[in-house]
Homo-oligomer: A and B are copies of this chain.
């Protein structure tokens, strides 16, 4: 098993059969010990955080599979905190596709002149580049196209998949009276088909209950226990 990449919250290994293993770590994004799904740095480490993220990711990827949404998921080993996935080609060096239901976080920091905190945003989609050095800048469809990162056809597909997946997650959460504010998805290509990659857990979404933010570990308990 060959280490391909060490990420902030996951390491990626390559198996001999060509598939990849994602090792979920106990590190979480944030700053100064405070969790923040939008942060670019590891802010804290909590025992069991990796397994907890993987449990939720497994649950959501299996729900998506039932609904014929393509993902890279093959299977998960919760004890080892590892997930076996199909190897996917990235768009450029990686994109994040965000779907927003409420104006919070970086959206509000950018567009606060025109949006009130917490205002409804009807599944608004935007794309950011994965580029820690440049603070994950937002990028338009035109720029993605011009820089040969995403074709027009792929952009439409990414946007459509993002809204579909986010709405499924939102409905699952609503069953437990949890409200999805925003979610950050990653996509790759497997044999030319665009598929969801990475994870779906408290680590890449903001979830609220009765107006109070739900931390990732509590989210897993509320959804799975």
**Minimum CB distance partner of A112 in chain B:** B134
Count copies of this chain in the complex.
2
Distance in angstroms between the alpha carbons of A146 and B143 in the assembled complex: 20
Interface flag for A17 (CB, 8 Å): no
Distance in angstroms between the alpha carbons of A161 and B138 in the assembled complex: 24
Distance in angstroms between the alpha carbons of A134 and B107 in the assembled complex: 11
Which A86-123 residues sit within 8 Å CB-CB of chain B? Answer: 92-93, 109-115, 121-122
Partner of A140, one of B126, B146, B148, B149: B126
Distance in angstroms between the alpha carbons of A131 and B112 in the assembled complex: 10
Interface flag for A141 (CB, 8 Å): yes
**Minimum CB distance partner of A138 in chain B:** B138
Interface string of A133-164 (1 = CB under 8 A from B): 11001111111001111000000000000000
**Minimum CB distance partner of A110 in chain B:** B137
**Minimum CB distance partner of A107 in chain B:** B143
Q: Which residues of B contact A129 (CB under 8 A)?
A: 110-111, 113-114
Interface flag for A60 (CB, 8 Å): no
Whether the pair A142, B125 counts as a contact (CB closer than 8 A) is yes
Whether the pair B139, A124 counts as a contact (CB closer than 8 A) is no
Q: Knowing that A111-B147, A114-B148, A125-B142 touch, tell me 10 more A-B residue pairs with CB under 8 angstroms.
A: A92-B113, A110-B137, A111-B129, A111-B139, A113-B129, A124-B146, A126-B140, A126-B142, A126-B143, A138-B138
